[in-house]
Structure 1
Amino acid sequence: MPGDYYDILGVDRNANKEDLKKAYRRLARQYHPDVNKEAGAEERFKEINRAYEVLSEPETRSRYDQFGEAGVSGSGGFNYGDMGDMGGFADIFETIFSGFGGGMGTGGTRRRTGPTKGDDLRLDLKLDFREAVFGGEKEIRIPHLETCQVCKGDGAKPGTGAKTCPTCNGQGQVRRATRTPFGSFAQVTTCPTCNGQGQIIEEKCEVCNGAGRRQVTEKLKSPFPEGLMMEPV
């Protein structure tokens, strides 16, 4: 059974977040298996990781204070704690992806809806011991879709345009009437020619092949703070 998490980190029960971080950094340096080869150092390091993982998060710390290990036994797993220390990193991603989202248009069609905000982005970064303790910066590559600069997003070759779909006459839907012994029934389906857009592109943009968007890769410098939670080894 694990010992008291406060005792493991050597802090009192009123320790604040900064106290916990300082204690964790000091003990992580001392007991990390890459640094300390003594017997028992690896197990001690795991205990330190687990204690900090629980106490650094207000929710799990509150459960631990009330119920002890039983209150957090199902909340195992690795997390980076409070990522608010990473400053405007989330804002960088929001800038990149704010104009993206919504489904990709099928080739030969043009989209009617404007851009919508995409989902939040989550990336997993592998850090070595020194990076986790002292912090630093890594370059990451993010593939994403952006509006084609040649056709400006409409999917048509410059100098050309779209024409009314001859199958649905610009309605985007096809109505079929079916006669049965019980009477006539009308069935409305999405036009298979224009995929519901009502228009078709005569000549597709050669750069994006009529999609209106193209795949690009963005390079970013990802800062990460010192004293991050480390995954038990």
Structure 2
Amino acid sequence: MTMWGTFLKPMHPEGYRFLPFFGLGALILFLIWEPLGWLGVGLTIWCYYFFRDPRRSVPQAEGLVVSPADGVVSLIGPAVPPPELGMSPEPLTRVSVFMSVFNCHVNRTPVAGRVAAVAYRPGKFLNASLDKASEDNERNALCLELADGRQLAVVQIAGLVARRILCWAKVGQGLRTGERFGLIRFGSRLDVYLPPGVTPLVALGQTMVAGETVIADLSRTGPARPAQED
């Protein structure tokens, strides 16, 4: 990778709608007062990086569940999937990935499967790192039917700043592991509900890379992986 490639990443087309407005705002601020103009330049650069869409090296081994988002693991524990998906009412292991406004916000499919259900539900805009955000916040949920018949859910949750959830997946569509399926602007969280008996391979506070970091192995059972800060 070149030095330019390290800093300049492709931008998702969704960003083309916002970048001109940020640039125009910076120009107007320069006309008002130069220091404000440089602040506008900084916000324009932030807008570009918010909508960045870098390529990812997606693990190809069968049964690996990868992170659907960049961010930090904020919650791990049992929880009932969104009822609107029509899945089992029994609690499943939920792994939550919290995205700050500085993370890449393009969402990727955690594991290959067929989209069995897509369900949007309006709600509040609480801090997405809170446990109750899963129940109270605006969300868009997908149920993926895996090749072996098991189901896995991935839920896009709006946050304190987020005001728009985008999802391009349709019912009946087949998705590849790591395939782009949505985006949330500006700051939010994704929950993954693992099939029964599957334990996570990540720990609280772990940094995640969408499409690359392995959350779980569908063929593996046993206790969750321990970790400590160092």
Mark yes or no: TM-score above 0.5.
no
Q: Decide which structure has greater helix share.
A: 1
Q: Which has the larger radius of gyration?
A: 1
Q: Report the TM-score when normalising by structure 1.
A: 0.20
Q: Report the TM-score when normalising by structure 2.
A: 0.20
Q: Decide which structure has greater strand share.
A: 2
